Every structure is written in structure tokens, then in C-alpha cells.
């Protein structure tokens, strides 16, 4: 088993956050990224459906079992990228008395921008797959509703309502439903629009309904 990556012996006295990962942790990270990279490449070459777990395992130089140890489903390899905590952090970074709608506008725009800046190719691939592959879209919606549950808590706090009330839940999920559709729209139109601008139009519709300017 050749170790091709130079071992960065980060042995500088580490600040509490990174308690000196240890070889095991570092290898896990590498494996995870190898699987993702392999999937990314194969999907670009052959398409999503034509890419099997066995192929991914082979290219990532791990066993198929290992792939499933790192990702619960095939869709997750493409989608997972702990964005939920980031969004929550953004949300909590806003003053509590700000109007909920304004907060969401900021959070969504900023979250999207961060996600895109970090890896534009990946962001495009994801929305592309969301458009093309039903299974990926479904998985995305599922993880969206998980995010929704967390948003409910935050929004409940801010609006002084029960996070489990129908009102908060409906508000949250309709928001996320609209955002989902925005992402799909962006993907369907070849990522030509400025996503931030789309988000603004989306939030206008969510706030004011279909009243003002039109198509």
C-alpha cells in the first residue's frame, strides 16, 4: 500500500482546535477525499448512473466495503459537504432582532457564495446532477428537510414561536422549497445566471408573492 502523499508532520504545538490529528485521522481524511475525487472523475467521464460503486472503489484504491463505510449511499458521495453547520453559524451571527426575512436573505446569499467559492466545479456538478438524476435530487431534498428542522429551531427562537408549530415549519419548508427550485433553475439554465441575483428574486417572491414585477 504505497503512501503517495507527503506526510506533513504537523507537529507544531497545536491550538486546542486541532489536537494533532494523528496518523489514523489523516488517513481517514485522505480516503474520504480519494473516494470523492474518484467519483467526481468517473461521473464526469461516464455519467452518474453508469458509474458503479465497484468502479469508484477501484479507482480510489479501496474496497467497495470501505466506500460504504465512508458514505451511506452513492448519492451522498456527491452531495455531502457539511454545509448545515455553516448555515447555522451564519444565522446565529446575525442580530436577534433583525427581521427573519432579512436574516434569511443574508444567510442564503452568504451560504451560497461560500459554497460556490470553495469549489465552483463541485457546486456546478451538484446542481447539474440534481437536475439530471432523480435519486440525487431526492437525496438533496431529504438533507434539505434535515436542515429545515434545524432552521425551525433557529427561526422559532427569533420569531418567539414554538419551533415545532405548524407555522414555523411551513414557513421554513416553503423557504427551502423555493431555494431548491432556484438551484434547479440555475442548473437547468446551464449556470449562466448569477446565483446571487436569482436568490434575490426568489426571496422577493417568497416575501411578496406573485405581485410586482414579472418575467
Q: Which of 41, 88, 101, 150 binds a second copy (CB under 8 A)?
A: 101
Q: How many whole angstroms separate alpha carbon 126 and alpha carbon 144?
A: 14
Is 19 a residue that touches DNA (CB under 7 A)? no
The item of DNA, a second copy, none sharing an interface with residue 178, based on CB under 5 to 8 Å by kind, is a second copy
The site string for a second copy over 108-137 (x = CB under 8 A, - otherwise) reads --------------------------x--x
- Please tell me whether residue 169 binds a second copy under the rule CB under 8 A: yes
Q: What is the secondary structure of 86-108 as a DSSP string?
A: HHHHHHHHS-TTS-HHHHHHHHH
CA angle at residue 129 from 123 to 135, to 5 degrees?
130
Residue of 7, 16, 96, 210 interacting with DNA (CB under 7 A): 7
Binding partner selected for residue 75 from a second copy, DNA, none, CB under the kind-specific 5 to 8 Å limit: DNA
Buried b (16+ CB within 10 A) or exposed e, 150-164: bbbebbbebeeeebe
Q: Return the number of the residue (85 or 160) whose C-beta is nearest a second copy.
A: 160
- Please give the C-alpha separations between residue 98 and each of 37, 92, 101, 104, 130, in angstroms, as whole numbers: 41, 11, 8, 10, 33
Which residue ranges make up the site for DNA (CB under 7 A)? 1-2, 6-9, 11-12, 22-25, 27-28, 31, 51-54, 61-66, 68-70, 72-75
Amino acid at each position: 500500500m504505497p503512501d503517495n502523499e507527503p506526510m506533513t508532520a504537523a507537529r507544531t504545538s497545536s491550538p486546542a482546535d486541532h489536537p494533532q490529528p494523528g496518523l489514523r485521522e489523516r488517513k481517514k481524511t485522505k480516503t474520504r477525499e480519494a473516494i470523492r475525487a474518484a467519483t467526481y472523475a468517473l461521473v464526469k467521464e461516464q455519467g452518474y448512473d453508469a458509474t458503479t460503486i465497484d468502479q469508484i472503489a477501484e479507482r480510489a484504491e479501496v474496497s467497495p466495503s470501505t466506500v460504504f463505510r465512508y458514505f451511506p449511499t452513492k448519492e451522498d458521495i456527491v452531495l455531502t459537504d457539511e454545509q448545515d453547520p455553516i448555515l447555522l453559524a451564519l444565522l446565529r451571527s446575525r442580530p436577534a432582532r433583525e427581521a427573519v426575512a432579512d436574516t434569511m436573505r443574508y444567510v442564503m446569499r452568504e451560504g451560497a457564495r461560500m459554497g460556490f467559492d470553495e469549489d465552483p466545479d463541485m457546486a456546478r456538478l451538484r446542481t447539474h446532477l440534481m437536475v439530471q438524476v432523480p435519486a440525487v435530487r431526492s437525496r438533496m431534498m431529504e438533507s434539505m428537510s434535515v436542515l429545515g428542522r434545524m432552521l425551525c429551531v433557529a427561526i422559532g427562537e427569533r420569531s418567539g414561536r414554538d419551533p415545532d408549530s405548524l407555522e414555523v415549519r411551513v414557513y421554513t419548508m416553503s423557504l427551502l422549497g423555493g431555494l431548491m427550485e432556484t438551484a434547479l433553475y440555475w442548473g437547468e439554465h446551464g449556470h449562466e445566471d448569477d446565483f446571487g441575483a436569482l436568490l434575490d428574486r426568489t426571496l422577493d417572491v417568497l416575501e411578496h408573492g406573485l405581485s410586482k414585477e414579472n418575467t
